[in-house]
């Protein structure tokens, strides 16, 4: 925190000193903030969550329906003849991948749209003006995106469990990869939202990066089916580790190295977090 000290940080501390000097106040003084502005952080988080809950048909139900439709068409188109992946039916193999695909798309959509809409409508100042540090800003937005990702995962998972015998092999892996995936995409969404100036820009990132990666990183097939050259490429794709690790949590079967995946996604999240915090600190494309 000391390294990101700024005018904003300094202003936050001044009231503390003032309050200490004046024990008896004749008028309401400035609010005292501790090391973390808990109330401000909570307010930002609540705004981010209420923002998507307000249109939950589009943000929770629609992804749930989409994942069920995908499950239906892929099972009907490919599952005939009882093909198996490892020792499980194709539908059961597919389910965790589809849940992860929705986490990826929805967590990204949450933070990117929130920041971009605020920028375009000009109410981003409402977030930049309050006494929130860069860390608190990043945390508030990211936590909103993570909540969206996990809510969608839970909704889609429950819906699929009605039709499929889905068991959990390793709860720790499920939680670890679900949280890290939500966080990674929430952070990417923030970077995208801050960088973008128009909705076209975000649509381009979604269409050309997020969608293809969420489709082609092993959601629908085992990575072993790829030709040799592409197998190597797949192992450089962070989304592959998210999907593979998440699937391991349910089925106990994985294609890549789990430990490497678990550490790599967490490490990437730390790096992305630092980028986001730096963007808030410098005001890149946020402050004139």
Partner 1 sequence: MPGPLPAAATAPATAPATAGGFAAPRRFGRVNWRGLWTLYQRAFLRYLKFAVEGIVGPMISAALFLAVFVLALPQGRSSLGGVEPLVFLVPGIGAYQGFHAAFENAAFPIVYDKLEGMMSDVLMAPLRPWEVVIAYVGAAALAGMTTGAVILGLISLIVPLPLADLGTVLVFAALGSLLFALVGFLTGLWAEKWDRYALVETFLVMPLGILSGTFFTLDAVPAAGREAMLLNPVFYGIDGLRAGFIGSAQASPGTGAALLAGLCLVLFLVAWRLFASGYKVRA
Binding site for partner 1 (CB under 8 A): 55, 57-58, 61-62, 65-66, 69, 72-74, 76-78, 80-81, 83, 200, 203, 207-208, 211-212, 215-216, 219-221, 225-226
Cβ count near 12 (within 10 Å): 22
Minimum separation from the CB atom of position 87 to partner 1 (A): 16
If DSSP states are collapsed to H, E and C, what string results for 18-72?
HHHHCCCCCCCCCCCCCCCCHHHHHHHHHHHHHHHHCCHHHHHHHHHHHHHHHHH
How far, in Å, are 44, 91, 288 from residue 171 at the CA level? 30, 20, 46
Structure tokens at 120: 């375009």
Q: Which of 118, 117, 108, 74 is nearest to 220 (CA)?
A: 74
User: Phi and psi dihedrals of 269, rounded to 5?
Assistant: -65, -40
Cβ count near 51 (within 10 Å): 16
Minimum separation from the CB atom of position 90 to partner 1 (A): 8
Minimum separation from the CB atom of position 100 to partner 1 (A): 14
Minimum separation from the CB atom of position 137 to partner 1 (A): 28
Distance between CA atoms of residues 107 and 127, nearest Å: 20
Of 11 and 203, which has the nearer Cβ to partner 1? Answer: 203
Structure tokens at 5: 């000290």
Minimum separation from the CB atom of position 65 to partner 1 (A): 6
Of 79 and 131, which has the nearer Cβ to partner 1? Answer: 79
Of 1 and 73, which has the nearer Cβ to partner 1? Answer: 73
Exposure string of 57-67, with b = 16+ CB inside 10 Å and e = fewer, is eebbeebbebb
Of 26 and 82, which has the nearer Cβ to partner 1? Answer: 82
Of 173 and 185, which has the nearer Cβ to partner 1? Answer: 185
Of 52 and 176, which has the nearer Cβ to partner 1? Answer: 52
Distance between CA atoms of residues 96 and 181, nearest Å: 13
Structure tokens at 88: 């499980």
Minimum separation from the CB atom of position 197 to partner 1 (A): 16
Structure tokens at 172: 């720790």
Minimum separation from the CB atom of position 77 to partner 1 (A): 4
Of 234 and 286, which has the nearer Cβ to partner 1? Answer: 234
């Amino acid at each position: 925190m000391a390294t990101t000290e700024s005018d904003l940080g300094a202003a936050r501390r001044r009231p503390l000193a003032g309050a200490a000097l004046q024990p008896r106040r004749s008028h309401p003084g400035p609010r005292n903030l501790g090391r973390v502005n808990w109330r401000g952080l909570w307010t930002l988080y609540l705004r981010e969550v209420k923002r998507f809950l307000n249109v939950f048909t589009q943000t929770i139900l629609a992804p749930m329906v989409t994942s069920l439709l995908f499950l239906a068409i892929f099972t009907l188109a490919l599952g005939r003849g009882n093909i198996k992946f490892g020792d499980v039916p194709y539908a059961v193999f597919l389910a965790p991948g589809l849940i992860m695909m929705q986490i990826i798309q929805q967590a990204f959509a949450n933070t990117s749209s929130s920041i971009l809409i605020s920028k375009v409508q000009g109410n981003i100042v409402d977030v930049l003006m309050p006494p929130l540090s860069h860390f608190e800003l990043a945390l508030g937005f990211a936590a909103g995106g993570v909540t969206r990702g996990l809510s969608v995962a839970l909704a889609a998972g429950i819906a699929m469990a009605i039709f499929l015998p889905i068991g959990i092999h390793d709860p720790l892996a499920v939680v670890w990869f679900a949280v890290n995936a939500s966080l990674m995409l929430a952070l990417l969404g923030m970077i995208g939202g801050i960088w973008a100036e128009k909705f076209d820009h975000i649509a381009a990132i979604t269409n050309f990066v997020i969608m293809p990666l969420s489709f082609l990183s092993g959601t629908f097939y085992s990575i072993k089916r790829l030709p040799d050259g592409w197998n190597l490429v797949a192992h450089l794709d962070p989304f592959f580790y998210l999907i593979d690790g998440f699937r391991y949590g349910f089925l106990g079967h994985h294609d890549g190295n789990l430990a490497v995946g678990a550490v790599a996604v967490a490490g990437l999240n730390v790096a992305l977090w630092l980028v986001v915090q730096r963007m808030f600190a410098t005001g890149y494309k946020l402050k004139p």
